[in-house]
Amino acid sequence: MSLTISAERASRIAAVRFDYGAQTRQAIAACNLCGGSRFVVLTHRDRYGYDAEAHACAACGLVFLNPRMTADAYGRFYRGVYRPLVSAFHGRRIDAHTIQAEQRDYAVERAAFIGPFLTGGGLQTMLDIGGSTGVVAHHFAREFGLQGTVIDPAPLEVEEARRFGLDTITGLVEEHDFGARQFDVVIICQTIDHLLDVGGVLARVRALLPARGLLFLDIVDFRAAYLRQWSVEDAVKIDHPFYLTDSTMVAYLRRAGFDVLRADIARDRLHVSYVCRPAESTRATKAPPMIAARTVSPPPRRTRSRPAGPPTSSRSARSSRSASRTWAWSGASRTWPPGSAWSRRSRAVHKA
């Protein structure tokens, strides 16, 4: 267990009795975004103290867990472990009931952002991927006159969604067969980093949307996340197979055949939201597009992100130095491919 995790938190996590090492995992051989196969190891453990490695693709900069749990293992994780584990981490109860107030605030705030795109377009149906308890889908459905469907792997949360009168599907979007069904609006709220195949899901969403359809999604900006705690380890968690940045998210969207209509950095400086529509040319590009000139998210200020006080252990001191190196290189990632930043990190790590 890492020295950066307090004894109290560590004992709460231990009490969840989740044996991560015993879960079935699979190695990722090809980058989900660009297909590259040269990776840089960024960390060997996550914020809970589990032995989880996060890798960055040396070609495009995408960060992901490797190896990661299989779809079956994640299915079991969401059925009984995920909320208790997050509760143990934060030291307060977080479940299908307690999260609803937070989700309501989120729904109201994001409805204001997406509203101008949803009104007056004759849009009627909506799919909420990873829709949890349905609070967000319910609010959007009521606000914009949409017929909402929620798909989520957690049965207890889907049960809550059903009580809102939403259509529900218990399962993973990667596995569910939608047949020829289409939806006018697809929303992926605080979910994309939980998916097992971001590229596959976006391609599927593209097929689920008619030409006039809209896609809303948001990400946890990985760069903002690791600078927040000044530690890559603390920004990595087994519940997130993927760690996106504005660069990698926009590359994903363009590759899947979407145009970004509007991007927005949340007040917390951690989440970035996107409203997208199918690109005029429905043919998805085969290679990651050039995105050098585009940056929505300015790097968080070091003075604001660094926690107060000196590091309390040699381990956290190492984390600080490690984050500091990455910070120094983050400027390099503004040019495509952003992977050059990770390549530099790789060399430095081998030297260290």
Which residues bind to Zn ion, rule: CB under 5 A? 31, 33-34, 36, 57, 59-60, 62
Closest separation in Å from C-beta 196 to Zn ion: 16
Nearer to Zn ion, 305 or 343 (CB): 343
CB-count burial class (<10 Å; 0-12, 13-18, 19+) for 132: buried
Nearer to Zn ion, 33 or 232 (CB): 33
Relative to beta strand 271-278, strand 167-170 is unpaired
Closest separation in Å from C-beta 57 to Zn ion: 3
- Output the furthest CA–CA distance in the chain (Å, rounded): 59
Nearer to Zn ion, 185 or 244 (CB): 244
Closest separation in Å from C-beta 29 to Zn ion: 12
Specify the DSSP class assigned to residue 131.
-
Contact present, 247 and 263 (Cβ < 8 Å): no
For residue 344, CA distances in Å to 24, 254, 332, 340 come to 32, 26, 9, 6
What the block records as the tokens of 296 is 């929505």
Nearer to Zn ion, 41 or 112 (CB): 41
Nearer to Zn ion, 199 or 278 (CB): 199
Closest separation in Å from C-beta 343 to Zn ion: 12
Closest separation in Å from C-beta 87 to Zn ion: 34
Radius of gyration of the chain from its Cα atoms, rounded to whole angstroms:
20
